[in-house]
Structure 1
Amino acid sequence: MTKPGQGAEGDAVAAPPVAITTAATAAAAPQAAASSAAPVIAPGADAESYEQQHVHSVYESIASHFSATRYKPWPVIASFLLSLPPGAVGLDVGCGNGKYLAVNPHVHIVGSDRSANLVRIARDHGGDRRCDVAVADGLALPFPPGKADFAICVAVIHHMSTRQRRQEAVRALLECVRPDSGGGKILVYVWALEQSNSRRGWDEGADQDQLVPWVFKSKTKTAGGGGGDTTYQRYYHLYRKGELEEDVVAVGGKVLDSGYDKDNWWAVASRIN
């Protein structure tokens, strides 16, 4: 789950992101709050309901169009998968349309995603070889602990609306793989705050919590010129430099490698024995 694509009717087009402010922030800056169509209040205690509204229900609605914009594996992730030994068994948590499931035909990957519609698409991504996929929440994975050789989680954890939940998602991944002594490792990708060269213009000092629009443009317009378009707001936490590594260490992981790739931070990590 990453960046919105652009295209014809039914595809997503770019729209300005909405910074999330707390009630206190809005009160301290009434002028800024008034300048937006409606202030967006940061997720509170009911994080699950917030994510249901601003993540899960959105991807259920846009699954087919989202999938159409997600077809080319990213090089760093493909390289990670191709480096695995033949016969390795692993997981793709938040597999989306399944574009990584068949990258390396010599390993077996079980995919999971919170979106049932994306799972249906992912099941057929392997062509003649149907992929093993399941509907599952990233915080309640149905996989036996300590058995997988590897796990990847690409552009998923930044949709968790609190730091505690993001750390728990990393912990869940680490618990699925073999400990460090057994060679188990995970690869995690998240959106970066530092995107100064992106059309979004985010960089250090910007709000880390954003609502990012996905807009369906329709050729059907009403007499008044409006109508037809549908905008979905997706929640993202933008990671600052070093934050992902901090979260890995906080839940008992060891960072093996990390870096920056096209507006994303990534980390390869293992579970300390």
Structure 2
Amino acid sequence: MSKPQPLAVDAPTHNEAEYEKNHVHQVYEVIADHFSDTRYKPWPVVEDFLNGLPTGSLGADVGCGNGKYIGVNPNVMMLGSDRSTNLIKIVNERGFEGMVCDGLDLPYRKGAFDYAISIAVIHHFSTPERRLSALNEILRIIRPGGRVLVFVWALEQTKFSKRNFEPGQQDVFVPWTLAKKTLEEERPPVVYNRYYHLFQKGELDALFNQIPNVSIEASGYDRDNHYVIAKKIK
């Protein structure tokens, strides 16, 4: 059986929240346990960012998934949030603090945190406006002088990548194959499609540059992703 391939799609022109509910949030609810089993090794850039923070820093992991980054640096505090109830259950079972909430409406006061990370999340928002709103919301909860790290999937992939995208296909459904097993039988696998917007080089930087009082400290390409480290000026 051939492996399902990404499918090019048109981004929605209306009912974006419903589109993301159907093609992102509901999928993660179903695949949460299997997804969590595949997410255990921190990416080096994220690990270095977290380990470089001052002792006692308070941060937020926005779109924390199974919480794999929350305990990377035991000398800082981090609260996790995600839209997936089932992923947050895993976070809490691991002994971390996590809550279910919308990335466009975080339940934190302005300037509450010293830092924030959002790893492989922003690409699930289906329009440029919603992606910008998500970044604005992350920066809202950061104090002046605080720092953020954001990762997104890249359109440009290395030849060794497991991801296989056609040139120019920025809006895609990426399949997740979930095996259905019971005590008596193994059912045929079920394929669930997740929406992604694949970022071109410079696109994430351009979004950050639309936000006032933010300075990009570093940006780059790592593990077939684009990332930005930025500082909130005031």
How does the TM-score come out when normalised to structure 1? Answer: 0.80
Larger % of strand: which? 2
Match of residue 8, structure 2, among 13, 16, 19: 19
Q: Which residue of 2 aligns with 1:208?
A: 170
- 1:147, distance to aligned residue in structure 2 (A): 1.9
Aligned AA (2:224): D
Q: Does 1:255 align with 2:207?
A: no
**Match of 1:178, SS?**
strand
- Give aligned-pair identity as a percent: 49
8 Å CA contact 2:34, 2:178 repeated in 1 = no
Task: Give 5+ residue unaligned stretches, structure 1.
Answer: 1-12, 22-41, 221-226
The partner residue of 1:234 within 178, 183, 194 is 194
Residue of structure 2 in register with 1:266 after alignment: 227
Please say if residues 14 and 213 of structure 1, whose CA atoms lie closer than 8 Å, have aligned partners that are also in contact. Answer: no
Change (3 A) 1:62 1:210: same
- CA displacement 1:126-173 (0-9 Å, x = unmatched): xxxx21111111000001111200000000000000000000101011
Distance in 1 (CA, whole Å) between partners of 2:126 and 2:120 is 14
Paired letter, 2:155: L
Residue 155 in structure 1 maps to residue 120 in structure 2:
yes
Please give the alpha-carbon distance, in whole angstroms, between the structure 1 residues aligned to 2:162 and 2:73: 33
Structure 1 residue 139 and structure 2 residue 104: aligned? yes
C-alpha displacement of 1:240: 0.2
- How far did 1:178 drift? 1.0
Equivalent position of 2:79 in the other structure: 110
Structure 1 residue 230 displacement after superposition: 1.1
How much has 1:124 moved relative to structure 2?
A: 2.6
Say if 1:196 and 1:202, in contact at 8 Å, map to a contact too: no
Alpha-carbon distance in structure 2 between the residues aligned to 1:190 and 1:265: 5
Judge conservation of contact 1:175–1:271 (CA < 8 Å) in 2. no
CA RMSD of aligned residues (A): 1.7
C-alpha contact 2:6 2:164 (8 A) present in aligned 1: no
Decide whether aligned partners of structure 1 residues 229 and 141 sit closer, same or farther in structure 2, where only a CA change above 3 A counts.
Answer: same
CA contact (8 A) 2:64 2:80 kept: yes
**Residue 265 of structure 1: how far off its partner (Å):** 0.3
| Number of aligned positions between the proteins | 228
TM-score scaled by structure 2?
Answer: 0.93
- Matches of residues 184-195 of structure 1 in structure 2 within 5 Å? 184-195=146-157
The secondary structure found in structure 1 opposite 2:143 is coil
Q: Which residue type is aligned with residue 193 of structure 1?
A: L
Partner of 1:73: 42
Q: Deviations over 1:74-119 (max 9, x none)?
A: 1110110000011000000001000011101110000000001000
Identify the residue that residue 224 of structure 1 maps to in structure 2: none
Counterpart in the other structure of 2:142: 177
Report if aligned partners of 2:29, 2:85 keep a CA contact under 8 Å in 1.
Answer: yes
Distance 2:43 2:194 in 1: 22
In 2, distance between residues paired with 1:247 and 1:53? Answer: 25
| Higher Rg of the two aligned structures | 1
| Secondary structure at 2:113 match in 1 | coil
2:188 aligned counterpart, secondary structure = coil
For 1:256, what is the secondary structure of its paired residue? strand
- Structure 2: give runs of 5+ residues left out of the alignment: none
Would the aligned equivalents of 1:168 and 1:251 in 2 still touch at CA under 8 Å?
A: no
Matched residue type, 1:101 = I
**CA displacement, residues 205-234 of structure 1 (integer Å, 9 cap, x when unaligned):** 4210000011123478xxxxxx63211110
Per-residue deviation, 1:120: 0.6
